[in-house]
Amino acid sequence: MRKQRHPGYTNCPVEAALDLIGGKWKAIILFRILEETRRFNELRRLMPGLTQRMLTNQLRELERDGLID
């Protein structure tokens, strides 16, 4: 898991959730994956403003944090 942005909020579940899904794309990626199982290129087509590199990085972070397999 990543370092928390604000160490003073160690007991706050909202802060913990925002640390995991914060950012511009992670919530959108999770939304698309929750609809149904998606392949990498399907996600790219659904989000034209997202670069391949950024999608790869975001998916790796979500996987590292245990939110997706």
- The whole-number pLDDT of residue 16 equals 79
The letter for the amino acid at 48 is P
Residues in the chain: 69
pLDDT at 8: 60
Using CA atoms, how far apart are residues 40 and 24, in angstroms rounded to an integer? 18
Q: What is the mean pLDDT of residues 19-29?
A: 87
Cβ atoms of residues 9 and 15 within 8 Å: yes
User: What per-residue confidence (pLDDT) applies to 38?
Assistant: 92
Higher pLDDT pick, 60 / 2: 60
Confidence at residue 32, expressed as pLDDT on a 0 to 100 scale: 93
CA distance 40 to 18: 24
Kindly tell me if the per-residue pLDDT of 40 is higher than 90: yes
Q: Which amino acid, 22? A: G
